[in-house]
Amino acid sequence: MGILNKQDDPFGSGNIIITGVDTLLNWSRLSSLWMMGFGLACCAIEMMAASASHYDIGRFGVIPRPSPRQSDMMLISGTVTLKMATRTKILYEQMPDPKYIISMGSCSNCGGPYWEHGYHVLKGVDRIIPVDVYVPGCPPRPEALLEGLMKLQDKVRRQSIARTAV
């Protein structure tokens, strides 16, 4: 809901837009999913390609942030080693709510090529943090990542701050 400037009021008569709190909140959340800027393995290269001008992830309002305190979304882009898993969990806990996770690539979905002999790899990042969207591929193309991002936006769009009956 907002009051428009009378002089350049595009609606002619009224100067008030009416909307729902949920709609407004969801719209603002889904259009500015600031991303925790870190990459874990080869998938990070595709993530960088998606952020560069050709695929331009910025047009979805995704801005890489250098700090978990400023991020809304964490993109797990690559192999989560057990050593990194402990750090990833801390980073996740440092993010303010609401927070979302996209798991990108086979490695973070389920261990990927390291599923059998990867003594040092966590077989799926969902063993330590809750994942919202899984993007399959090794590595997923930037288009697939953008598709995953749009899936996350759909999910955010359907959220409500009202407590629903169980």
Partner 1 sequence: MTNQEIFDTLKATYGGAIGSFHEQGGSAYMKRTSSYADIVEYSQIAQICQYLRDEPTLEFDNLNCLSCDDNGDKTLSVIYHMESLKFKHHFAFKVTVPIDHPVVPTVTRVWASANWHEREGWDMIGIQFHGHPDLRRILLDDDWEGHPLRKDYKEPEFYRGMKVGY
> Could you list the residues that contact ligand SF4 (CB under 6 A)?
41-43, 78-79, 105-107, 112-113, 138-139
Cα 49 to Cα 65: distance, rounded to the nearest angstrom: 17
61 versus 118: smaller Cβ distance to ligand SF4: 118
127 binds partner 1, rule: CB under 8 A: yes
Rounded to a whole number of angstroms, the minimum distance from the CB of residue 123 to ligand SF4 is 12
Taking the least distance from each CB to partner 1, the nearer of 123 and 151 is 123
Q: Closest approach of Cβ 49 to ligand SF4, in Å?
A: 12
Q: Give dist(CA 59, CA 53) in Å, integer.
A: 10
Choose between 4 and 82: whose C-beta lies nearer to partner 1.
82
Residue 78 binds which one of partner 1, ligand SF4, none, with CB within 5 to 8 A depending on kind?
Answer: ligand SF4
Site for partner 1 in 72-91 (CB under 8 A): 82-83, 85-86
Q: Alpha-carbon Rg of the chain, whole angstroms?
A: 19
Q: How far is the CB of 73 from ligand SF4 (least distance, A)?
A: 18
d(CA 122, CA 120): 7
Q: What is the DSSP string of 11-50?
A: TSS--EE---HHHHHHHHHHT---EE----STHHHHHHHH
SS3 content of the chain, % helix, strand, coil (to 5): 40, 15, 45
